[in-house]
Each structure stands twice: as C-alpha cells, then as structure tokens.
Structure 1
Amino acid sequence: MRLKITHETAYSYDTPVEALVQSLRLTPSSHEGQRVGDWRILVEGGQRGAAFRDGAGDWIEGWTVRGPIGTVRVSIDGLVETRDTAGVLRGHRETVHPLVYLRETVATKPDEALTELAHSVQAQDTLDLAHRLSAAIGEMAEFVPGVTQSQTSAAQFMEQRQGVCQDYAHALITCARVRGLPSRYVSGYLHSDQDGQPHDAAHAWAEVHVGALGWVGFDAANACCPDERYVRLGSGYDAQDAAPVRGMAFGTGAESLDVRVHVEEQ
C-alpha cells in the first residue's frame, strides 16, 4: 500500500515566548514492513540542529525556534510504501537489548487488577500468550475518546474500562511485562477508512518481544496485529517516552495545541 501522510501540529502561546527547543521523532524508519520515500519535516521559523539514530532505531532531529513566538507549526508531508508482515518487525536496525523493556514506568505500573488479568490468561506458548493478552484487554474495555488524558495510567484505564489507543497499549504493555515479556509503546499512523478519503489517523499500539520471532506488534484497541494500513514512527517505554514531539518553551505563556493528521492511499 502506498500511503501519503500529512501531519501538522500548531503550538500557540497566550503570551509570546522567547524561544522553543524541540526534539522530533517524526521520521519513520525503513524495514521489511515499510519503505519511506519522500519525507519532509518543516518547523515554521525553525533551525534544524543535530540529528541521530538512537539505540531503538528511531531517527531524532533537534530544532530551535527563536522568538518572540506566538504560534509555531511543525509540518510533515511524506510517502510510505507498506506491506503486511503479520505484525512482525523485521529488518529494523536497533541496538537496545529487549530485556530493557521490562522496565516499569508510572503509566505502566501494574495494580492488583492488571496483575490478576495478566495471570488469568493461559496459553500454549509465548506468541499465543501475547495474542491472548491483547484479546483480553480488547474485550474488557470500550473505545471511548475524550474520557482519558495523556497522563492516564494503565491502572486508571483498567478501573474505568474506557479509553483510546494509548490506554489499550499501556494496558497490554503492563500485562505483558507482568508475565515477563519485554514490551514497548509504538507511535505511528493508521489508514482506517475504506472510501479513499483522508482520515484523521494518529495511532498507537504495543510491541511484545516473542523469543526468536523478535518484536511483534499488537493493536488491542482494534483486535489485530499491524498490517499494511499501519506506519510505524517510533517506540519507547510508554507514550511519554515514545512521544513524536518533545520540547521546551522559554517563557511564561500558556501553551495550547492543535493537531491534524491525515493518511490517504495513493
């Protein structure tokens, strides 16, 4: 599948700030499931700084914007060729050992309910366990936008049984780690409509390390593994660690965001 992605984030400040420094994880890596073609990042009024590939195989760019700044836009325009690998991440170059992803974070700290859920799942092998954990989380919750926030933890999601893709991913990561499976959060895009029209499609899912098979993606919110509709951006311990945009504004102005993402088949 050939996918065109446009992604714009506008940062506005009620009082102009002196400067803005950003770290962008907004360039997909090429691997067997995707090949990145023309890909452009533009930070309005910004100056590109250092760039590097981190240990997880993600491309990181630094940008600086000098003020005074009232509004700044980060824009992406790119093409990606994708194919279905049944969720298996093949040909992705990284150096971080999988066991690092057993690390617990605030968002993925297990409570009694998550621990009980994780141990209630019986499976024939590790891959089957990962599939069954993903299915169990998908069945116990309802996809409802707007009822959780960026800081909502897996335990809070488990308590209210409602949330969005970020929450499902955190819950699966938590349960998988309880069962001793290295797991991580993945940010990206999803082409999810059938009529060829652009669709708002920033998305997130989890990857679980399954022995010799390596990293396998699981989208508990959609009860599937990533296929040709998915574009993988980057990964981390949780949503905050895998955030596509991180930054710091120098000033006292309150910040507001407007994010627009479209994915369409070419």
Structure 2
Amino acid sequence: MLLKINHETRYIYDAPVQYGLQQVRLRPKERPGQEVKSWNIEIDGGKVELSFVDQHCNHVDLISIDRGRTEIAIKCTGEVDNSDGSGIMGSHSGFAPLWYFKQATDLTKPGAETRKLVKALGDDFENDIAKLHALSAAVVEKVAYRTGQTDAETDAETALRVGEGVCQDHSHIFCAAARMLGFPARYVSGYLMMSDRVDQDATHAWAEAYIEGLGWVGFDVSNGYSPDERYVRIATGLDYREASPISGLRFGSGSEDMIVTLQVQQ
C-alpha cells in the first residue's frame, strides 16, 4: 500500500524566542515491509543544525529556532510503500540490547494499578501472542479512549487510576505491564491511515513486545489489533519521551500554542 503523508506542526509563541532547540524525529524508518519512496522536511522559522541516529536507530534532526521569531513550522511530505506483516517486525537490531527494553521509566514505572492489571490477566494462554493480545484488550477495557483527560506527562499508573486516556497512555500501560510479564517492550510513534477520515490532528502511537521465535510484534492497544500496511513507523523508544516526534526547549517567558495538520491517504 502506497501512502501519501502531509504533516505540519506549527508553534506560535506569545513572545519572541531568544533561543530554542527542537529534536525532530519525523523521518520514517526503512525496514522490511516499509520502503520510504520520498520524504522531505521543510523548516520555516528555523534551521537544521545537525542530524544523527540515536540508540534506537531513530533519525533525529536538531533544529534551532531563529532568534526573535514568534512562529516556527515543521512541514513533512512524502510517500511510504508498506506491506502487511501481521504486526511482526522481526528480529532485533540497533544499538540498544534487548535487556534495555525491560527497564521501567518515569512514564512506564509499574505500581499497584499495573500489578492488579497483570494479576487479573491470569496464566491460561495458549502462547505468548495470545497473552499479549489479552493484555492489550485488558488495557483498553480498563482505560477508555477519551481525549482531554491526560497529557504528555501522564504516566501509566496515573492513566490507570483515571480510567481514561489516549493512544499514548494505552501504549505506556502496555509497555509497563508487558515488562512485568518478562517481555522486552517499546513505544512506537508514527502515522495511521484512518478509514473514516483523511484530516487528522495528531500522530499515532502503539507498542511492540519482543517474543522469542517471532521477534518484535506490534500491538495497537487503542484500536484492538496489530499494525498492518496502514501504519508508518517513525520512531521507537522506551516511552513517549524517547520516541516523541518533536521535543525541545526554549529560553524566555511566555506561553506557546501548537497547531497540527495531518493527512494520511492512499
């Protein structure tokens, strides 16, 4: 499936920025089943200072904001050709070893709520795939999909207590619980072509767990199935902070607004 993507993120500041840097992870990963036909990033209000590949093999562009600007826009356009691998990403690669993906982070640190979720899951499963699909279903049953109840800094335990959240929260909870069960797990950020709309207001997130004999397998907890040819993987990490499409810092007072426009279509 050939997917065409148009994605713009615009930051508007209520005071001129004196100094700012952003780490941009918005270049899709080349892998078996995902071929990047073309990809272009344009910056309005800043420039790329350097580019590097991080420990997860994410391509990162370090962008500086032009001094005195009150807006910066990051525009991505391109085409990605995908095939359906039933959610199976395959063998592990990259600079980080598998044991690295068993560690907790501030956003995926398990607590009482995660332990209750894992305990309620039980042990009566035919195989690891069945167990992890059951975990995915248990997460979305416990935490209903609803926007506005959590934010980028909400951790897995808090989302479980609130009982509502979005794909980021579902992915964090899945990673925390899967690691408790002994599986390496990681967070994935990317794009999803939706069947009911072209225009979207955010990128998507899901999770992957490593299963012996299969390798990395994806689980889109929010939608209840494994990623197929409609999904474009951009970045991976232990949690949102390591795989965030854009993260950064700036000096100066004042607030900012962010406007996202995104189209993913065949």
TM (norm. structure 1) is 0.93
Q: Shift in Å at residue 256 of structure 1?
A: 1.9
Letter in 2 for 1:148: T
Residue 254 of structure 1 aligns with which residue?
A: 255
- Extract structure 1 runs of 4+ deviating beyond 6 A: none
Residue 183 of structure 1 aligns with which residue?
A: 185
Query: 1:163 is matched with which residue: 150, 162, 165?
Result: 165
CA contact (8 A) 1:201 1:263 kept: no
CA contact (8 A) 1:189 1:263 kept: yes
Structure 1 residue 243 corresponds to structure 2 residue 244: yes
Deviations 1:77-98 (A, max 9, x none): 1111111111111377422111
Residue 22 of structure 1 aligns with which residue?
A: 22
Letter in 1 for 2:205: A
SS at match of 1:89: strand
| Unmatched segments (≥5 aa) in structure 2 | none
Residue 85 of structure 1 aligns with which residue?
A: 85
Letter in 2 for 1:230: Y
Structure 1 residues 65 and 200 mapped into 2: Cα distance closer, same or farther (>3 Å)?
closer
Q: Distance in 2 between matches of 1:50 and 1:247?
A: 14
Structure 1 residues 104 and 92 mapped into 2: Cα distance closer, same or farther (>3 Å)?
closer
Letter in 1 for 2:177: C
Q: Shift in Å at residue 205 of structure 1?
A: 0.4
Structure 1 residues 21 and 57 mapped into 2: Cα distance closer, same or farther (>3 Å)?
same
Q: Shift in Å at residue 45 of structure 1?
A: 3.2
Percent of aligned pairs with the same residue? Answer: 36
Structure 1 residues 186 and 38 mapped into 2: Cα distance closer, same or farther (>3 Å)?
same
TM (norm. structure 2) is 0.93
Q: How do residues 6-85 of structure 1 correspond to structure 2 at under 5 angstroms?
A: 6-85=6-85
SS at match of 1:212: coil
Q: Distance in 1 between matches of 2:98 and 2:113?
A: 26
How large is the Cα RMSD of the aligned pairs?
A: 1.7
CA contact (8 A) 1:200 1:263 kept: no
Deviations 1:9-64 (A, max 9, x none): 11111110113212111101111221111101111132222212222121111122
Q: How do residues 80-229 of structure 1 correspond to structure 2 at under 5 angstroms?
A: 80-90=80-90, 93-121=93-121, 122=123, 123-194=125-196, 197-200=198-201, 202-229=203-230
